Amino acid sequence: EEPMSYGEQMDYQITGIEPGAGVTVTTEEVLSEYSNLTGWELEQSSTAAMMAELREAIDQEEPIVVTGWNPHWMFAEYPDLKYLEDPKGVYGEAEEIRTLARIGLKEEKPGAYKILDQFEWEVEDMEGIMLEAEQTGGDIEELSRQWVHDNQDKSEAWTKGVEEVDGIEVELVTTQWDSELTSTYAVAEVMEGKGYDVTVTPADVSVMYQAVATGDADATVAVWMPTTTKEFYDEHEGDFEDLGANLEGARIGMVVPGYMDIESIEDLEP
């Protein structure tokens, strides 16, 4: 008897995360672009469920394909994970995380705007906080706020030239993934240090964009571009100010355990 193909073993399912995530939307596009993926489906559930399925598969050395991304702790926890090559480039090349401000923020709250504009850090910074939260069960908000004080060499640059204020309110909108919560709470912490009164609201990607575009929120530091959330970006372009990358070197794609004998999305059999 022929051994079962990976496709058969996985029931032709890619293990994904929440509907409405950028990586979900982009993966649906991958499924329609690659003819070898005809008949495959993206199983959508939650990030926690995907990580649980990944753990289980690795424990049993079974094949699995997940929708993965960096920054994330999965690569530190499972060092032999690999991204599948994407010869059609549907997942894009280098992804970055950008800051968007509402129109008018610069004039109305110049200090808050300046912090947002100056905010930037590295993949390792964000990933370090995420990994610590995962390993210790620590609270992502607390760890992110603590990071600001433990890394003043970096975080002090974000408030350079910013004057203290007395309780001006700032509304930051973000998504609900740990990656974006770390950056948002880190920025909230430095803003509060300058006297701002910051509210953080996690929301779906579409709601996050809408909040900044309508002016309901002042800003977000959680925008994955140029590929992950392109659909939402294009829909609202012109109704926000793009302050550029706050983190470079992010990535999304199909991720598999190293023991799987494939290297490319094209190696998945129809």
- Contact residues toward ligand PBE (CB under 6 A) are 17, 21-23, 69, 175, 177, 179-180, 205, 224, 228-229, 252
- Beta carbon nearer to ligand PBE, 155 or 183: 183
Pick between residue 10 and residue 23 the one whose CB is nearest to ligand PBE: 23
Nearest CA to 247 out of 170, 191, 189, 179 is that of 179
Q: How far is the CB of 178 from ligand PBE (least distance, A)?
A: 8
Measured from the CB atom, is 82 or 106 closer to ligand PBE? 82
Rounded to 5 degrees, what angle do the CA atoms 11, 63, 48 make?
A: 85
**Least distance to ligand PBE, CB of residue 68, Å:** 9
- CB contact at 8 A, 17 and 47: yes
Classify the phi-psi angles of 180: left when phi > 0, otherwise alpha if psi is within -120 to 50, otherwise beta.
alpha
Shortest distance (Å) from residue 156 CB to ligand PBE: 27
Q: Between 36 and 46, whose beta carbon lies closer to ligand PBE? A: 46
Which residues make Cβ contacts (< 8 Å) with residue 33, sequence separation at least 6? 88, 90
Can you tell me the distance from the alpha carbon of 187 to that of 159, in angstroms, rounded to the nearest whole number? 10
Question: With contact defined as beta carbons under 8 Å apart, do 223 and 98 qualify?
Answer: yes
Shortest distance, position 143 Cβ to ligand PBE, whole Å = 17
- Least distance to ligand PBE, CB of residue 21, Å: 4
Q: Which residue has the tokens 């793009």?
A: 242
Q: How far is the CB of 151 from ligand PBE (least distance, A)?
A: 22
Question: Which one, 25 or 162, has the nearer CB to ligand PBE?
Answer: 25
Distances (CA, A) of 100 to 1, 47, 172, 228, 257: 56, 24, 10, 15, 35
The structure tokens listed for 116 are 């947002």
Nearer to ligand PBE, 253 or 257 (CB): 253
